[in-house]
Amino acid sequence: MTDRRPRPVRVSGVELSFPSRDGGRLPVLDGVGLDIPGGGIVALIGPNGSGKSTLLRVIAGLLHPQAGVVTLGDLPIVAPDPAIGLVFQEPRLLPWRSAAANITYPLELAGWPPERRANRLAELTELVALDPGVVSNRPAELSGGTSQRVALARALALEPEVLLLDEPFSALDALSRERFDLELLRLWDRAGTTIVLVTHSIAEAILVADRVVVLSPRPGRVVADIDVELARPRSLGDLDAAIVSHTAARIRAHLGDPAAAGSLELAS
């Protein structure tokens, strides 16, 4: 979509804490640094509470770190930016709007005229392979997978350079999730956006990403940054390759999983 190459995202020295109930501070991110090349795919993995989603919100400009900085190209990100699209864990659709009106919601907020919105809607439904028969349905009438497709289309509406995904397919069953992972890759191929994917699944991380970044338990720090040396385009069959087992074992070891040593099991 965008002709110019996406700018790299640089996270450096990000520290963030939330106020805790006893009046102190609860550190969530502890000096996180991360370089994401423009157009690349990086998976963020870590135990619950490692601050993966928090880090994603910092990159999205929704949370302000107490220290450190996130930049897109040369520009520091201090507020939500149209160049960054965000997909949440749940579809988060507006229940009173049709699927189509949910997809074009960002365009409406940005002041696009109706005709231009309609054209973009057609591109987007095609891009995320949304069944045209359901675009006039309300979210309550959509399946979980279809809802997440709508959410993905909404995140892509303004042609972002960076797409942030917060465990987007975790509510889907395992088979649908694998299908969505492959569709995400196809979409990345076409749209050329940088992708940061937060996931709980080692298999998903390896299938999708160039690099898997492992965060420690709270407060989150980067404890490993592992390249996935798997040629593209990838398919589900690639998950059987020896290099995958090896990569998975390395990730697992950094996740502090005691079963890591011998286990080659990939399901998360």
Least spacing, CB of residue 104 vs other proteins, in Å: 11
Neighbouring C-beta atoms of residue 237, cutoff 10 Å = 7
Q: Strand 67-72 to strand 75-76: parallel, antiparallel, or no bridges (unpaired)?
A: antiparallel
Q: Which residues contact 149 (CB under 8 A, 6 or more apart)?
A: 128, 129, 130
Strands (E), the chain: 9-19, 25-36, 41-45, 67-72, 75-76, 84-87, 162-166, 194-199, 211-215, 222-227
Least spacing, CB of residue 86 vs other proteins, in Å: 5
Least spacing, CB of residue 258 vs other proteins, in Å: 35
Look at residue 7 and give its three-state secondary structure: coil
Least spacing, CB of residue 14 vs other proteins, in Å: 18
Helix (H) or strand (E) holding 135: none
Q: Which is nearer to other proteins, 140 or 267 (CB)?
A: 140
Which residues form the interface with other proteins (CB under 8 A)?
60, 62, 79-80, 82, 86, 88, 90, 92, 94-96, 105-106, 108-110, 138, 140
Q: Which is nearer to other proteins, 46 or 106 (CB)?
A: 106
Least spacing, CB of residue 110 vs other proteins, in Å: 8
Q: Which is nearer to other proteins, 19 or 258 (CB)?
A: 19
